[in-house]
Structure formats: C-alpha cells, structure tokens
Amino acid sequence: MFGKRQDGITQKRPAAPAPQPPQEPARAPAAGEAPPPPPLPGDAPAAPAAAAPPPAAPKPAPAAPPVKPAAPVKAKPAAPVAKAEPFQREKSADYYQIKTSIFNALIDTIDLTQLAQLDRESARDEIRDIVNEIIAIKSVVMSIAEQEELLEDICNDVLGYGPLEPLLARDDIADIMVNGAGRTFIEVNGKVQLTNVRFRDNAQLLNICQRIVSQVGRRVDESSPICDARLSDGSRVNVIAPPLSIDGAALTIRKFRRDRLRLEDLVKFGSISPEGATILEVIGRVRCNILISGGTGSGKTTLLNCMTAFIDQDERVITCEDAAELQLQQPHVVRLETRPPNLEGTGEITMRDLVKNCLRMRPERIIVGEVRGPEAFDLLQAMNTGHDGSMGTLHANSPREALSRLESMITMGGFALPSKTIREMICGSIDIVIQAARLRDGSRRITHITEVLGQEGDVIITQDLMTYDIEGEDANGRLLGKHKSTGIARPAFWDKAKYYNEHNRLAAALDASQD
C-alpha cells in the first residue's frame, strides 16, 4: 500500500553497490599503517587512485602480514572512534537540512490514513523501509550511524514526540524544559543540565505541543496560548506559546518515574529517616487530615503518592486535580480533572466545582492535587464534616507559612468571614503539616512533620514532631544532616493512634528518633 515509488527505487538501487575495489585497498594499509580507511562513503572514489602506487607492494606483502599484524589492529579502532562523534556534531546543520528534505519526501509518498490504521511497531517498520528507499533515490551520502539516527528521528517525528522521545525514555530525568527550538534543558539528580536536543524550527516544536495537549482534549494556539495537560503516563505538561513566549513555544514536562516510589524508597534516598517513615505511616493509617507543603520541585506530589499507599483497600477515594498525575493503587478511586473554558469562554470547570461536587459522591477521603485558590474553603469544610484522612498540597516555605497561605486563599475567594473564624476552621480541619524542601545540592528532604494544636487568641499553635537539621557538607558538596525528634512523647493525635491500635509503633518511632 505504500509502494508507489518501489518501481523507480529498484531501478536506481543497483547503482549503489558499484564500488568493487575495496578488496584491494584492504591490504594496502598493511604496508602503510598511517592512513586509516576513510569513514565516509563519499571518499570511496579516491581509493582507486591511491591503489595505483602500491602495485609493487604486493610482492613483500606475504612477509609483512606475519610480522606486523598487531600494528594495523591498534591503528584502525582509534580512527573511527575519534572521528564518529565529532563528525555528527560538526555536520548538525547539514544533517537537519537532509532530514527536512527526506521528511518532506516521506510525507508526499506515504498514505497517512492507512498508516494510522497500523499498530505502532508495524507503522515504524513501514516508515523505515520507505525512508531507506528515499535515501537510495536521493543518493544521500551518510554513514551507517547517521542513517540509523535519521531513521529513528523521522519515526519519532511521525509517530511520537520527535526529539523529546529519547528524553522521555530515560527514567532518571525529573524535568524537561524546552526554551524554543534551539535549547532544551533537563533536570537530573536535582541539577539542571543543557542538552544537545534541538527541534527543526519553532513550527515543529509548536506542532509537538499541539499533539501532546490534543490527546487530553485541549488546545494551544495564538488565541489560547497557555495550556496545562498530561502525558499518558501521568507526567505533567505546561505549554506557553507565542505571542506570550517571545522566543518560540516554552514546553515544561514534569516527568514521573515508571516505577512508583514508595516510602521505603524515600528512606533509601535519605529524604526521611526510618523512624520518620514509621511516623508518616501511622499518620496515614489513623486518618489524620494532612497538608503537604513545599516549594516548586520539592517532591510534594511524590510524597502525596507515598502517603496514599496507607489508605485501606475498601475506602472510596476521590481525587481532584488540574492535570491528573496522582497514581493511587486502591481499587475504589474516582479521578476528577478540571476543564478550561472553550473558544466562546464558557464551559470552564474549576477546582472548587470539583471539590463541591465531591461532597455529593459519598467520598471517604478527598485528595486535592494542589490547593491554590478558593477551593481551600471547600476542602476545609470537607475535612471538618466527616471526611477524615483527606489530603492536599500547596506551595509554601514552612508549615506556618502554609497555614497563613491557606487563610489568604480563603480570603481572596471573596468569603466575608472574619479572620478568627477562618483560623478556627483551619485548626479544626488540619491535623498534620508535612514540609518538603529541595536543598541547594539538589537533594529533596522532608524537613518538618508538624501538628496543628489549636488557637491561642488570634495565633494558631503548632508543634514540630520531627525536623531535619543540616550539619555540614562533604567533600563533594553534598549536604549532611539528620532527622531528629523534638522530644514530644505524646502528640495530639495520640488518641487516634490508640483507636487504630498504632500507638505502640508511634511511641517506639518517636523514642528511637531522639537518639
């Protein structure tokens, strides 16, 4: 079905296997070990000219091979390894020009409607066959490594997300940040690095952005230049397009690991001590209302995913998010997602609409991916009316700032409530504030486990159960620290822990963390 050009291809293919003399120059380097074999097929015609001087050499050749077989073996591997990588980088502009030419020829040749009916592997094989034929027709001079790279890039452009595919395949990348077509950054182990990944032009970048957001029923263009979306694996995507983004579309992907992290993994990474992990597990099991606070990239969503692991299998859980990224493993989970307005400016579903609707769906726990507006009021009401064990995240630098921000969000929502009433709601709803932070060496740590006690006058009283103290740094610049208990033997949720028969574990963890 794709064989429109196969007749012409078969006629031009015999012209490619013309070079026969490579058998003769194969022995020529034995006499002169300095000249390595040329790496590019374009230099092949120069071989017969160089083969003229060595006709006298074949006579001493039988004596030379047994004496110097090791010399050419050492010289040959050095030449290709040294020149292969630099060549690809130097010819990057020509490479992209060739790629554009072959890609355009592919689009003219292939039937996209029939290609869409194939599965991914069959479509990839079909594209590779057609691209190989186009390369033969155009007599493009490329090394085998370059040709394989070109085939992979074109398959990614047609079937996937183009130059982003190699980055999305890596599991050690936390963030992918594209600043226009020419500059792409990644975050690995908490450090931001510049990559050599680039797009053909800004049009290709915007096309890939539109492909990503269209999969979740959204769009990004000049009339709607800002969009939040997600990938199929739950990775969070943000796109801001021209004219708001001056140097081309800006694409940010918060990437998730394939293997969902558990609290045990955070202990291995040093984000929390084993005793602290036990305290968090008890907090999750006894249905405390939890607020997870932290800055951008501090691991709030990862920690929220870990805390949901302690929800019982028979509980009905409803999640509300702007872009669905939570990965709950319980069988009875309802996932809700907000919706932006349409072209006419109508049809928007806000986070507050979702949280309010949750109360009519008989939830046992409500989990809000990120609290950033008036939905804070509805979440507090839900926590205060029998939905114990609800959770949420917000951006703040400390537990006390988190409570202050919660009050500000409710105030900005237009609720005509006195400050004292709002603070009483906060004290009656929030049991625990967990603070996460990304330190200057790129590591992520849980720095505070704080409980909300009540109110004295107009001030909300809190007490820390565990904190993270930085003690210095090692020779490699990694910060050294330790999680320590503050000496609280019986926290305010002790009665809940006793009700769920978790008080002995809680007491043992608090005692052990004081050492």
- Specify the pTM: 0.71
Helix, coil or strand: residue 391:
strand
Q: Give pLDDT, residue 282.
A: 95
Q: Within this chain, do residues 361 and 472 fall inside the same structural domain, yes or no? A: yes
* Backbone φ and ψ of 217, nearest 5°: 75, 30
Q: Within this chain, do residues 167 and 148 fall inside the same structural domain, yes or no? A: no
Q: Within this chain, do residues 132 and 221 fall inside the same structural domain, yes or no? A: no
Helix, coil or strand: residue 233:
coil
> Which contacts qualify for 104-112: CB closer than 8 Å, 24 or more apart?
105/134, 105/138, 106/130, 106/131, 106/134, 106/154, 106/158, 109/2, 109/4, 109/5, 109/134, 110/2, 111/1, 111/2
Q: Within this chain, do residues 187 and 321 fall inside the same structural domain, yes or no? A: no
Q: Which of the pair, 391 or 160, is modelled with greater confidence?
A: 391
pLDDT digits (tens, 9 = 90+) for 173-202: 989 999 999 899 999 988 899 998 888 889
Q: Within this chain, do residues 368 and 237 fall inside the same structural domain, yes or no? A: no
The predicted model gives 360-389 an average pLDDT of 89
Domains identified in the chain, total number: 3
Q: Within this chain, do residues 331 and 421 fall inside the same structural domain, yes or no? A: yes
CATH of the domain at 199: 3.30.450.370
Q: Give pLDDT, residue 22.
A: 46
Q: Within this chain, do residues 183 and 292 fall inside the same structural domain, yes or no? A: no
In a domain, 149, yes or no: yes
Q: Within this chain, do residues 152 and 168 fall inside the same structural domain, yes or no? A: no
- Residue 343: pLDDT band (50, 70, 90) is confident
Q: Within this chain, do residues 313 and 357 fall inside the same structural domain, yes or no? A: yes
In a domain, 296, yes or no: yes
Q: Within this chain, do residues 136 and 170 fall inside the same structural domain, yes or no? A: no
Task: Choose one of 254, 273, 291: the last residue of a domain.
Answer: 254
Domain that holds residue 366: 263-512
The predicted model gives 225-247 an average pLDDT of 89
Task: Tell whether the model's pLDDT for residue 32 goes beyond 70.
Answer: no
Q: Give pLDDT, residue 16.
A: 42
In a domain, 23, yes or no: no
In a domain, 117, yes or no: yes
CATH of the domain at 501: 3.40.50.300
In a domain, 64, yes or no: no
Lowest-pLDDT range, 28-37, 101-110, 178-187, 420-429?
Answer: 28-37
pLDDT digits (tens, 9 = 90+) for 279-307: 999 999 999 999 999 998 888 988 999 99
Identify the residue whose tokens are 């920690």: 303
Q: How many CA atoms does the CB half-sphere of 38 hold within 13 Å?
A: 13
pLDDT digits (tens, 9 = 90+) for 452-507: 999 888 899 999 999 999 998 888 888 999 999 998 889 999 999 999 999 999 99
Task: Choose one of 156, 173, 200: the last residue of a domain.
Answer: 156
Q: Within this chain, do residues 321 and 353 fall inside the same structural domain, yes or no? A: yes
In a domain, 245, yes or no: yes
CA distance 369 to 375: 11
Q: Return the amino acid letter for 330.
A: Q
Angle between helices 70-90 and 92-109 (to 10 degrees): 70
pLDDT digits (tens, 9 = 90+) for 72-121: 444 444 333 333 333 234 345 677 777 778 877 887 777 777 777 777 78
In a domain, 41, yes or no: no
* Backbone φ and ψ of 376, nearest 5°: -60, -40
In a domain, 11, yes or no: no
Q: Which of the pair, 28 or 261, is modelled with greater confidence?
A: 261
Q: Give pLDDT, residue 416.
A: 79
CA distance 338 to 352: 9
| Residue 442: closest CA among 264, 291, 241, 297 | 297
Q: Which of the pair, 272 or 128, is modelled with greater confidence?
A: 272
- Residue 515: pLDDT band (50, 70, 90) is low
Note whether 435 and 402 are within 8 A (CB): yes
Q: Within this chain, do residues 304 and 398 fall inside the same structural domain, yes or no? A: yes
Task: Tell whether the model's pLDDT for residue 267 goes beyond 90.
Answer: yes
Q: Give pLDDT, residue 437.
A: 94
DSSP per-residue letters across 305-352 = HHHGGGS-TT--EEEEESS-------SSEEEEE-B---TTS---B-HH
Task: Choose one of 136, 156, 176: the last residue of a domain.
Answer: 156
